[in-house]
Amino acid sequence: MEQDIRLTEISLPSVNDIHDEALINEFVAGIGKNVLIMTPSFPFVFIGRIVEVVGDAVVVDVKVTTIGELENRLWYIHAHQIEVFYIEQKGMPRIPELRDDI
């Protein structure tokens, strides 16, 4: 006689889910602060102020990027496209001003 044994299913978040949530939480905590973001695709670098987080997109008021025509506007950057980022914190190094008129 076969017994039908069913174990209670436990659903745990994946490592990727935990990573994504932690990343989004960092950007939510950084709203209003300056940020430098690097992505693997064009335009590669964004420097500006974090305006808000919408779902898994970070909204940045971009002041500097690799193409001048793409500056001074809001960019929605998907969290999965962020390879490297630095959010300015009190007592930590500031993001340098990058200007070509020096």
Which element (helix H / strand E) includes 101?
none
- For residue range 36-95, what is the model confidence (pLDDT) as tens digits? 999 999 889 999 999 999 999 999 999 999 898 999 999 999 999 999 999 999 999 999
Residue 69, CA atoms < 13 Å, CB-side half-sphere: 0
Nearest to 51 by CA among 38, 37, 68: 37
Rg of the chain, C-alpha, whole Å: 19
Class of the CATH-defined domain 31-92: mainly beta
Higher pLDDT, 9 or 24: 24
For residue 24, the SS3 value is helix
Residue-range domain boundaries for the chain: 31-92
pTM across the whole model: 0.82
